[in-house]
Structure formats: structure tokens, C-alpha cells
């Protein structure tokens, strides 16, 4: 898809992957609406700020209406939580599901008809490696990202004959404020975090080339493949190395 002049909506654009993606799309010539909760940060993205908390009821519909016609949706907004599932509060589960999964479905539902009518469009769903393989102490978060992965595959099959592309982006560990905000820092020495700008560049390339799946870093794609081919071995390795 040609990006110069394309209308793009990026959620979670106040920081991290979303902020980097908004800037990258602007550099590619796109017109960007940057959605998030921090107006000052959104203005720093260079896009048109749209202040919105996607955890609120009806927020996705209001955001879609305010954004106007959109050619490219980058559904990136996400919140995390780490800890034993038996200890997570129901309110936290509800927020994770609404921000990470439901808002992406609702925004896609609101914007997709316009894309189909205009004969061009692309939906980018930013998932996570834990949504493909699971992770200890991240069951609720992994479930929301796993839902995104299933939605992306199903929607791409549904739109196979339509002029609208669908991309699932699967980042590994990214150097952002995500871990601090979830309350548990990233303490592993491997894999090393990658820059948010690296994920943003992959998103821009995926939209241009209509790629179905992108994993950042690329070598991390071996993890879901190994889990699919040898689940017992994968679980043994995950149990030993975390």
C-alpha cells in the first residue's frame, strides 16, 4: 500500500511502539492521527492528537468517529500485568481484555466498512510473542494477545479477495516503559530488548508490502514454530529457562 497521503490511525501513540510508529508513518508521508491518553506526548508524535482512554465504554466508537476516514489502522494500544493468575483482580482482567483485545476489534469493525467502500486499507494488529507461545505469570496478558493473533488470521482469510490487508506484528521484548507500568521490570539477560523504532520500521514495511506476519526480531519466529512442531520439548525448555 502506498503510504504518502494515506490516513493512518495509531493507538497507544503516547509512548513506545505507538509513538515510534506514528513518527515513522509521518516520515513515510502519511497523515497520522495519534491516539493515546497523554496529549503532550501525542503532539510530540507529529500527528493529530486524539486523546482517548480505550478502556472506557464506547471509547473505540467515539475514537473512530473523531478520526474520520482511515486507510491504515495500527491497533497497538496495550496494558500489561504480571503475576500469579490466582492473584489478579477481576477489574484488571477486564481492563486488559478491553484495551488489548476488544478495542482492536471494535475499531476494526468501525473502520473496515469505509476501507472496503474506498477500495483500499490495511489493519495492523500489534500482538506479542507471549500471545503465540504463552508465558508463566502472564496468563491474562497472553490470552488477550493470543486473541489478537487468532483475529488477525481469521480476518485476513475473510478479506483474501478484498483490497484490505491484515498484518499481525509479533514483537519480542521491546525497550519501552511497558514493564515499569505493569509493575514488574524485565530482569532477564536474554533475549535483549529491541528498540521501539525497530518495530515501527517493520510495521511501515509490512503495510507497504502487505505482509501477513512480522516478528521482531525475526529470529524469534522460531519459538512458535518449535512449540507447534514439538510442544513437549518447548514446554520443557520454557520450564527450565523461563
Active-site residue 186, yes or no?
A: no
- Catalytic annotation, pick one of 81, 141, 178, 234: 141
Closest Cα partner for 3 from 19, 24, 18, 34?
Answer: 24
* Burial of residue 15 (number of CB atoms within 10 Å: 0-12, 13-18, 19+): buried
CB of 136 closer than 8 Å to CB of 181: no
Catalytic positions? 141
Amino acid at each position: 500500500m502506498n503510504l504518502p497521503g494515506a490516513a493512518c490511525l495509531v493507538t497507544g501513540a503516547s509512548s513506545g511502539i505507538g509513538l515510534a510508529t506514528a513518527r515513522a508513518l509521518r516520515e513515510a508521508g502519511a497523515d497520522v492521527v495519534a491516539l493515546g491518553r497523554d496529549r503532550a506526548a501525542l503532539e510530540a508524535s507529529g500527528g493529530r492528537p486524539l486523546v482517548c482512554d480505550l478502556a472506557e465504554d464506547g471509547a473505540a466508537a467515539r475514537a473512530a468517529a473523531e478520526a474520520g476516514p482511515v486507510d491504515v489502522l495500527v491497533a497497538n494500544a496495550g496494558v500489561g500485568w504480571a503475576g500469579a493468575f490466582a492473584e489478579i483482580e477481576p477489574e484488571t482482567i477486564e481492563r486488559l481484555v478491553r484495551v488489548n483485545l476488544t478495542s482492536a476489534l471494535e475499531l476494526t469493525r468501525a473502520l473496515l466498512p469505509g476501507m472496503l467502500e474506498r477500495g483500499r486499507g490495511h489493519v495492523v494488529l500489534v500482538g506479542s510473542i507471549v500471545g503465540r507461545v504463552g508465558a508463566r505469570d502472564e496468563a491474562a496478558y497472553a490470552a488477550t494477545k493470543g486473541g489478537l493473533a487468532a483475529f488477525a488470521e481469521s480476518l485476513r482469510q475473510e478479506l483474501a479477495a478484498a483490497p484490505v490487508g491484515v498484518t499481525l506484528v509479533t514483537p519480542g521484548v521491546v525497550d519501552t516503559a511497558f514493564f515499569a507500568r505493569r509493575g514488574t521490570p524485565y530482569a532477564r539477560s536474554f533475549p535483549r530488548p529491541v528498540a521501539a523504532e525497530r518495530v515501527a520500521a517493520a510495521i511501515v514495511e509490512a503495510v507497504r508490502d502487505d505482509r501477513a506476519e512480522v516478528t521482531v526480531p525475526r529470529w524469534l519466529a522460531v519459538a512458535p514454530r518449535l512449540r507447534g512442531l514439538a510442544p513437549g520439548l518447548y514446554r520443557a525448555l520454557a520450564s527450565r529457562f523461563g
